[in-house]
Structure 1
Amino acid sequence: MPDDHAPTTLTLQPGVETLTVTGARPGAHLEVREAAGRSVVTVVADAKGHAHVSFVPESPRVVTDLEDLVEIVGSGETLAPGEYVVHDHSSGAPPRVHGPVRVLAVEDVPDPGEYDQVLDAGFGYLRTRDGTLLSAMVRFPDEGLYGPPPWPTVVEYSG
């Protein structure tokens, strides 16, 4: 039987107007707050200990099921860019605080060094502006047909 008060390996992964939580205790109430302290939303970790916040209600509420989610989508907004912390209320009082992390805006530009990634032909990974690693299959055009580089970039993805 799992220990309900054992430490978690909770991880926060900020993105562009999104925040993903992994490693939480299944069923944990995870309160997302602005770094200044204002509560934004509380979500409940799924059976795998994951929660994702990309759309939030006009006022704070606990989202526990699909009906709650459908209701807030009609009147909410995207997660605003800024600094956030997550209060894990499953660990007892006081809650365990994780973060801060910075959620990016659509208009944010990556560090210029991100453009210096070298992608070799074949299977590999590329780093996105929010730090996520995406697997990629890189195929270059035939120089005999299209001439020497640089070539236009075409990205196909699924998922």
Structure 2
Amino acid sequence: MTAADTARYDDQDDTPLTGYAVLAGTFATGLAAFTAAVRARGVRPPRDVPPWDVALMGAATYKASRLLANDKITSFVRAPFTERKGDGEAAEVMDEPRGKGVRRAVGDLVSCPFCVSVWAAGALVCGYTTVPRATRLVCAGLGAVTLADWLQYAWTWTQQSVE
């Protein structure tokens, strides 16, 4: 392997490492600013997080990330950074990132539910720290939608099995 080979991150040499660094820095800076703000206000994080709250936030994180990364109605959020490549299952769409640098990095983020889930979970944890009752309510709503989605899939599967 030559020095030129190690200078490239991937075969296409189009991985937006600087853009990824900007996004990671933004996430870390936001978390640090949140931490400083709540400390200044004297807010203390919860001593314990019950397993049912973890499950509730997990379901909410799942649904929030799917809504942001794949839902038709949130296409306006992704449109500056992605382009439509096709339809997914149910009301979901498949978008691919466009552009270069930070624009491409944001496109990678907003078109990937696994990537968005970290940001969604971060927002929910911040909410849980400062307004736990309201955050639980939001999580319960998103959790209910998650359950409804699974019931819709089960109903569709049952109908297809009968036919």
Structure with greater proportional helix content: 2
- TM-score normalised by the chain length of structure 2: 0.21
**More RCO (CA 8 Å, sep 6+):** 2
- TM-score normalised by the chain length of structure 1: 0.21
Structure with greater proportional strand content: 1
